[in-house]
Amino acid sequence: MRRVTLTQFLIEQQRAGRISADLRLLIEVVARAVKAISVNVSKGALAGVLGEAGTDNVQGEAQKKLDVIANEILLQANEWGGHLAAMASEEVEEVHQIPFDYPKGGYLLLFDPLDGSSNIDVNISVGTIFSVLRSPTEGADPTEQSFLQPGREQVAAGYALYGPSTMLVLTVGKGVHGFTLDREMGSFIYTHPYMTVPVETGEFAINASNERFWEAPVQRYVAELRQGKEGPRGRDFNMRWVASMVADVHRILIRGGIFMYPLDEKCRSKGGKLRLMYEANPMAMIIEQAGGAASTGRERILDLQPQKLHQRVPVVLGSLNEVERVVAYHREA
């Protein structure tokens, strides 16, 4: 059986005219950074990378040591290749400009370097999420405004899952493709072609401890799922919650389901819990490319016009029928 590597896959995409040479290079560099992050995550206590870093990120959240390490790996790996105009990280307040002594390219890279980092110390799966936009500024340093493009303008999006195996899941706007890291060979191998989200599902993912803060449409929807065969849905549902968006969304991509971090009274003043540019947009692109849907409960995530770099939004994504039901309940309310 022929084993197709990530590099071969990207070259074929370039030959087909779906991506440029610079975008191919960008994705390959991100993949190399993911390998380095994977090594650090897998060593855990052996490398002294567990625990708090003693600093806070731009959102005022305590950073883990691996948050800082993963962020530096991604920044340093992508600075010098000439394919980027600038970067933005969930962990850093300002836009990260390309150093003056390196060439600049036509793309913008945004990333959450280590999603679900609260799980690191208990050895549960974490991940990296990234998004690629075209830079609207040619010959000038991009500003925050340069990044504030609706999610539908993304040219690529992906995530890495650091689990029992390390996976890279990617879309360049033509389906969703999964690659598994062969640790002995050091290559990502094409193992999951054209991934699709099952339309029907028996699973849902939500932080049930926040139930008392949810809006009425979400309370109604989850109550129906919990009633199982005896309720209006006529079948049983299982709840899953990893508290790592990458892990929860990856399960939905493989088995179907719905992931929700809705607007509630705890996060209403912030606009939501998850970051639009670093989490919601790239995951929405992936899920839509896999045949699912992604909404705030009120509107399509990929149509949102960002107002600021670290904007937060509610997120409801996954199997098409379930997302449409949640949106319908919001509309009725």
Binding site, annotated residues for Mg(2+):
90, 112, 114-115, 279
Vertex 292 angle, CA 24 and 37, to 5°: 45
Which tokens belong to 198? Answer: 């099952």
Annotated binding site, which residues? Answer: 90, 112, 114-118, 207, 273, 279
Among candidate residues 249, 244, 236, the one with its CA nearest the CA of residue 294: 249
∠ at Cα 73 (71, 76), nearest 5°?
105
Across the strands, what pairs with 188? Answer: 181
Angle at 185 between CA 114 and CA 122, to 5 degrees: 30
- Give the helix, strand, coil percentages of the chain, each rounded to 5: 40, 25, 35
Torsional sign, CA 193, 204, 62, 91: positive
> How far from each other are the two terminal CA atoms of the chain, in whole angstroms?
54
Name the binding residues for substrate: 115-118, 207, 273
Rounded Cα gap, residues 58 and 91, in angstroms = 6
At residue 124, what are phi and psi to the nearest 5 degrees? -110, 150
